[in-house]
Amino acid sequence: MRRLYQNTGIDKRHTVINDYAKDPSGYTFYPKNAQLMPEPGLEARNDLFIRESNRLSEQAARALFSRLPSFDRTAITDLITVTCTGFSAPGFDFHLVNALGLRPDIRRYNIAFMGCYAGFPAMRLARDICVARPGAHVLIVAVELCSLHFQQKTDLDFIIANSLFADGAAAVLVGPTLDPSPAHGENGHGARLLLDSFTSRIIPGSEKDMAWKIGENAFDMRLSAYVPAFIEQNIRSIIDEILRASEASFDDIAIWAVHPGGRAILDRTAAALNIPPSALGHSYDVLREYGNMSSATIFFVLQRILSDSATGTVFATAFGPGLTVESGLFRKVV
């Protein structure tokens, strides 16, 4: 356990469970004993998801709007929510409409239970909406509370999942007429990403190596040690595929945004592409500071890309159950 955690490349993670570092008598989620047993059931975990997904989705959206002070949120025509760590109807999409005063005729979509790559279908859907309906603006909000599903099981899959996953939320605005010069600050001084193209690939023979299902007490993750090898073997051909469709070359890629599913994934991706690990610096930084936050993680990486000085073509990718690899070719402009 000690060696495993030391090699994750993670310094800290965040959780909505407030029992950690407290005396057992003060626990509100776990039973009031040092063994944390019996473990909370699925209902208790999902109830906490409902409360915290409402709070964090609103917090993330308000943080986004604070960086776009001139944007009129009533211009948002569509809302896409993303999660694989909890369920409710109505969900946090409904909460966002009421809490943020979004228009009552807003179109809502929920991308659920797709895992770490789900941010890409969300961005692709948002892009397609804007292309199909000129003038549309789409708000994407991803909330993943992975720590709710930590379990005391000795299977290697559960041990690995407990060492990697964490909680996080992100909000993104996609549209054709976004103000390119909002107030300076952490928004990247007006930097934007143009969503040029997307591709999706299912890696043959990998279905059993990453899976996510509802278990007796929580959601159960299967995470094989072979996942980094599958990605290493396939990532270059995936990149070549999207480059051919875009009539671009490998040398055109100036910025890399790889989902930090784990340190081995980043290490092997860099090796397979023959690029220095420093090229994946933003991904390593997000892994170190936040861990793997499932679908929300890629947005943390893209935010760092928007905040630095580099511009040019961005290759972004994430991996999830299936084993599915979703990728996009973007352009960062200022």
Q: Is the peptide bond before 40 cis (omega within 30 degrees of 0)?
A: no
Q: Is 116 a catalytic residue?
A: yes
Please, what is the Cα angle at 7 between 39 and 225, to 5 degrees? 70
Residue 302: Cβ-neighbour burial (10 angstroms; 0-12, 13-18, 19+): buried
Q: What is the dihedral of CA 63, 172, 149, 12, to 10 degrees?
A: -60
Residue pair 54/168 in contact (Cβ under 8 Å)? The answer is: no
Which of 84, 116, 130, 146 is catalytic? The answer is 116
Please, what is the Cα angle at 200 between 198 and 201, to 5 degrees? 150
Residues annotated as catalytic (active site), given as ranges: 116
